[in-house]
Amino acid sequence: EEEEAEEWERRKRGRRKRRKRRRRRGGEEDPVDVLGEEVMGRVMELLDARSVARCTAVSRAWRGVAADDRLWAPKCAELMAGKAHIPRLTMIPTASKLSTYSMAIADGKRTRITKEDLCDHDWEFRFTIAAPEYWRNLDPSWKHTGPPMRRYFHPDGYHSADPHDAVWGGHECTYTIITSFAGNGCIRDHYVRINRWPPMKVSRKEDWSWELSNHLYRYNSIPDTDKKGCTGPLFPVW
């Protein structure tokens, strides 16, 4: 009898909530009430991520369906397919899949590079057409005699290359990330500099890879989606 009474009270509360939602919608039936959460979830699976995200703002009932991890897990996988790097902040175990998707989108648009970004990736190094011919002749990618040269950033500020690198020459190198801000708090200038060589502006590609470049040479981050623990900062950077 107690179980029956509890079930009756639960149904009564459900009817009361549905009546309130109908009043807010001008007497119209809420699709969540008509179709049920499972069917609504199937419908939302057919929508793109932006549309599903908008559904979370309709009502509490809609948010309960639209924010479900089962709905967002495949969308996260679809988002990260084909990307060069997977942000480390997407590995936060307590974050919902909706939050993970949102943070991944924001991080993929980020152009402010951090030390974690530099150190977590290996980098391809190439000279540009503006570089002196002597240096271009030492670049195997220019002569098509081998793969591009590689560069490595280290947490202690040291910058290195492979032992056989003809351009490197074994000299000491350090790097610095420079960021300046305007009076309104917006970034005015942001670049990476190695020793006292020309600064390299920072840019981002659609596959979330990084490029550091100036008129003489450029660095491109090498895809590493299979890297354990992913890459980049653990917390959002704006």
Please tell me the predicted confidence (pLDDT) of residue 230.
93
Q: Are 84 and 208 in contact (CB under 8 A)?
A: yes
Mean pLDDT of 44-73: 92
230: left (phi over 0), alpha (psi -120 to 50) or beta: left
Mean pLDDT of 165-169: 86
Q: What is the pLDDT of residues 135-157, one digit of tens each?
A: 999 999 998 899 999 999 999 99
What tokens were used for 31? 């699709």
Q: What is the pLDDT of residues 80-109, one digit of tens each?
A: 999 999 999 999 989 999 999 999 999 999
- How far apart CA 105 and CA 167 sit, in angstroms, is 37
User: What predicted TM-score, i.e. pTM, was given to this entire model?
Assistant: 0.81
Q: Where are the alpha helices (DSSP H) in the chain?
A: 2-24, 31-35, 37-45, 49-55, 60-66, 69-80, 97-108, 115-120, 133-137, 140-143
How is 152-216 classified by DSSP, letter by letter? EE-TTSBEEE-TT-TTTTT---BEEEEEEE-TTS-EEEEEEEETTSPPEEEEE-TTS-EEEE-SS
Q: Are 141 and 148 in contact (CB under 8 A)?
A: yes
- Residue 228 phi/psi, 5-degree rounding, is -65, 130
